[in-house]
Amino acid sequence: MGSNGTITELQRNSTNWTVVVDEIVKMEKKIFPKHESLARSFDEELKKKNSGLLYIQIRGQVVGYVMYAWPTSLSASITKLAVKENYRGQGRGEALLEAAIKKCRTRTVLRITLHVDPLRTPAVNLYKQFGFQVDTLIQGYYSADRPAYRMYIDFDSK
Instruction: Give tens-digit pLDDT for 28-62.
Output: 888 877 666 565 666 677 777 788 999 999 988 99
Query: 101, 117, 103: which is closest to 153 by C-alpha?
Result: 101
Residue-level pLDDT at 1: 44
Which 8-state DSSP code applies to residue 95? H
pTM comes to 0.88
Give the other-Cβ count within 10 Å of 9's Cβ. Answer: 11
93 exposure class (CB count in 10 Å sphere: 0-12, 13-18, 19+)? buried
The answer to whether 146 and 100 are in contact (CB under 8 A) is no
Count, residues in the chain = 158
The answer to whether 141 and 112 are in contact (CB under 8 A) is no
**Confidence check: pLDDT of 2 > 50:** no
Ranked by mean pLDDT, the top range of 43-47, 72-76, 118-122 is 118-122
Report the alpha-carbon distance of residue 110 to residue 76 in Å, rounded: 8
